Structures are given as C-alpha cells and as structure tokens.
Amino acid sequence: MSNEYEAVILDNDGVLVEPTDTDVIVDAVVESFEAFDVEIDRSLARQTVDEDTVPVDLAREHGIDPEALWHYRELNASLAQQTHVQDGGKSVYEDVSALRRLAVPLGIVSNNQHATIEFLLAHHDLPAVETARGRRPTLAGAADRKPEPTYIEQALADLGAERALYVGDSEKDIVAADRAGIDSAFLRRDHVADVELSIEPTFEVTDFRELVTRLTAVEQTKER
C-alpha cells in the first residue's frame, strides 16, 4: 500500500449512496422500448439490467437503431433515478462524512450515468469532490465502463495524480483500478458481505471510518 496517495477516487452506487432499486431501472428499460413502439417482456428487460448488458442485438431485432435506443434509455434511467432519489431512495451512507477528514483530493468514477452523478452531488450533502466521471450516454461511453480503466484514467488526469487509491464494492472496481495502475480498496458493505473476489484488492475495509483511520495513520507515520 502506498503511503503517498495523491488522491482518493470513489465508486458511487453501493459506496457513497445505496444501490439503485433494480425495478427503477427495469421500468426505465421497458419504457424506453415503448418509446420506439416496441413492447418487451419485463423479464427480458430485467435480464439486461441484471447482466449489465447494452441491448444492441435486442434493438436491432426490433428494427431500432441501437445508438438511439441506448441514448434514450440512459436519459430515461437517469431521470427515473433522480425521481427515486427525490422520493427518498439512494440515501447517503452515514459513514461517508468521515471522508471529510482526508487531506487529499477526492474524485468519483461510476458506471452510472454522468447526469445521475451530477444530480446526486447537487442533491446530497456529499464531501466535496474535485472531479466526477460517470458514463457518457452513448454506446462508446458504455464500452468504457469499468472494468475498463478509461474513466479512472480520466479522473486521474483531472486531478493531476499518479499515485491514487480507488475505493469500490465490486470485482469490476478492483480490475479497473489494477488496469489503471493504482491501488484499490474493496469496501465490504452489507450488500457484498458474502462476495468472493477472484482478484485481490490492495486491502479491504468495512466502512469509510476504517478507511480514513488507515490512511491517516499511514500519513502520520510518514510525518514522524
């Protein structure tokens, strides 16, 4: 573990805020196809959400331009999540406030839509971040999602940092950090308590209080 992190970059869903209710996204997928005069079975829509797939073949099967469908789907899913947040969903985890004790810049890199991340930052009292990167509402933007390192690399460039820590709650997060050449911390919250990883993170923590204690202890040791 580096004792000279220049920045800490955070995943969003399941890390800073509670995961999105799957039904919210499934509804958005069904409604997106309906906007193109196509009715799809809800179980099929749920499959695309559960498997985190871009329904290119499904769009073509129904004569829909995949780019147009995905753009609409991304807009619809973001607006649905924003409404869900306003209704009390996707609450901020209580321990997030501990991040305010860190002396290094913070960033966010999420597989959620960039518009959703911007909304959450404006709506919630989250610690100040110097950069936030969510996925662009295009097929190319979807292809750059984690485990690809693209958005993490962009955040590192925004922060002017090379030695950084990425904090996430999935194997994709650990792989993306590894591909970006930075350390990773797996945040083992309750919803991933039983998850087994096939790749080792730099270290694990149970909450942000433990993370901040660990990082500040390293910093204090370095200063002695």
pLDDT at 223: 47
Q: Which CATH architecture has domain 22-86?
A: Orthogonal Bundle (1.10)
Please write the tens of the pLDDT for every residue from 150-161.
Answer: 999 999 999 999
pLDDT tens, residue by residue, 108-130: 999 999 999 999 999 999 999 99
What is the band of 1 on the pLDDT scale with cuts at 50, 70, 90?
very low
Name all contacts of 142-151 with Cβ < 8 Å and 24+ positions apart. 142/54, 142/70, 145/111, 146/109, 146/111, 146/170, 146/172, 146/173, 146/175, 146/176, 147/171, 147/172, 147/173, 147/175, 147/176, 147/179, 148/176, 148/179, 149/176, 149/177, 149/179, 149/180, 151/109, 151/110
The candidate with the shortest Cα–Cα distance to 70, out of 139, 20, 22, is 139
What is the per-residue pLDDT across 168-211, written as a single tens digit (0 to 9) for each? Answer: 999 999 999 999 999 999 999 999 999 999 999 999 999 999 99
- pLDDT mean over 80-86: 98
Q: φ and ψ at 123, to 5 degrees?
A: -85, -40
Q: 3-state DSSP call for residue 29? A: helix
Sheet architecture: strand order including 131-135 = 131-135, 106-113, 7-10, 164-168, 183-187, 203-205
Are 113 and 134 in contact, with CB atoms under 8 Å apart?
Answer: yes
Average pLDDT over residues 32-42: 97
Going by pLDDT thresholds of 50, 70 and 90, the confidence category of residue 217 is confident
What is the model's pLDDT at position 4?
84
Q: What percent of the chain has pLDDT over 70?
A: 96
- Separation of alpha carbons 179 and 38, rounded Å: 39
Round the average pLDDT of the chain to a whole number and report it. 95
If you classify domain 7-19+91-223 with CATH, what class do you get?
alpha beta
Which sign does the torsion angle of CA 218, 166, 104, 163 carry?
positive
For the chain, residues classed under CATH 3.40.50.1000 are: 7-19+91-223
Sorting pLDDT into bands at 50, 70 and 90, what band is 53?
very high
